[in-house]
Amino acid sequence: MRIASPSGPLMPFPLDPARVDAAERAFGARFPRAYRDSMILGNGGSVTALDEDWQLHPISDDSDAKRLKRTCNDVLRETTEARAWPGFPEGALVIGSNGSGDLLVFLPAKQDGELGDVVYRFDHETSGLEPVAESFGALPWRAG
């Protein structure tokens, strides 16, 4: 599958669903369906939210050297680092960054063992949360 972008064609790296399952087990919660499906299709990419471009962190894939290198900044690693920040929300999963320190996150759902569908912006300066989309599927996602 090739997806066109202003800078040319992008080549997504599909992800084995078993790797998403493993990431969910390691994190301790199920990821929202739209996010999960997008990562299986292209494992990373970018979205536009709040008039900014956000680079999505991939899910770890060590199936070959190229994929391992491409996924070294995976969602679990980025979440572990963000947990050291003052005010980072408990149980949040970091899925992306705007390059200026702010993060896109999912928060735990009311049901144990699941993340909610709403995508939030975590402001690294104020520790504030701002909803940016009712679901990952509502964001303009670009694989690659």
3-state DSSP call for residue 21? helix
Check whether 92 has a pLDDT greater than 60: yes
Supply the DSSP string of 56-70, one letter for each residue. EP-----SSHHHHHH
Check whether 118 has a pLDDT greater than 70: yes
What pTM did the predictor assign? Answer: 0.88
Residues recorded for the chain:
144
pLDDT mean across residues, the chain: 89
User: What domains, with CATH codes, occur in the chain?
Assistant: 11-142 (3.40.1580.10)
Neighbours of 138 (CB within 10 A): 15
pLDDT class of 142 with cuts at 50, 70, 90: confident
Around 129, how many Cα atoms within 13 Å sit in the side-chain half-sphere? 14
pLDDT tens-digit profile of 7-41?
A: 444 446 789 999 999 999 999 999 999 999 999 99
pLDDT given at position 12: 65
pLDDT tens-digit profile of 27-76?
A: 999 999 999 999 999 999 999 999 999 999 999 988 888 877 887 889 99
Supply the DSSP string of 112-138, one letter for each residue. TTBEEEEEEEEPTTT--EEEEESSGGG
Judge whether 42 and 12 are in contact, CB under 8 Å. Answer: yes
Check whether 4 has a pLDDT greater than 70: no
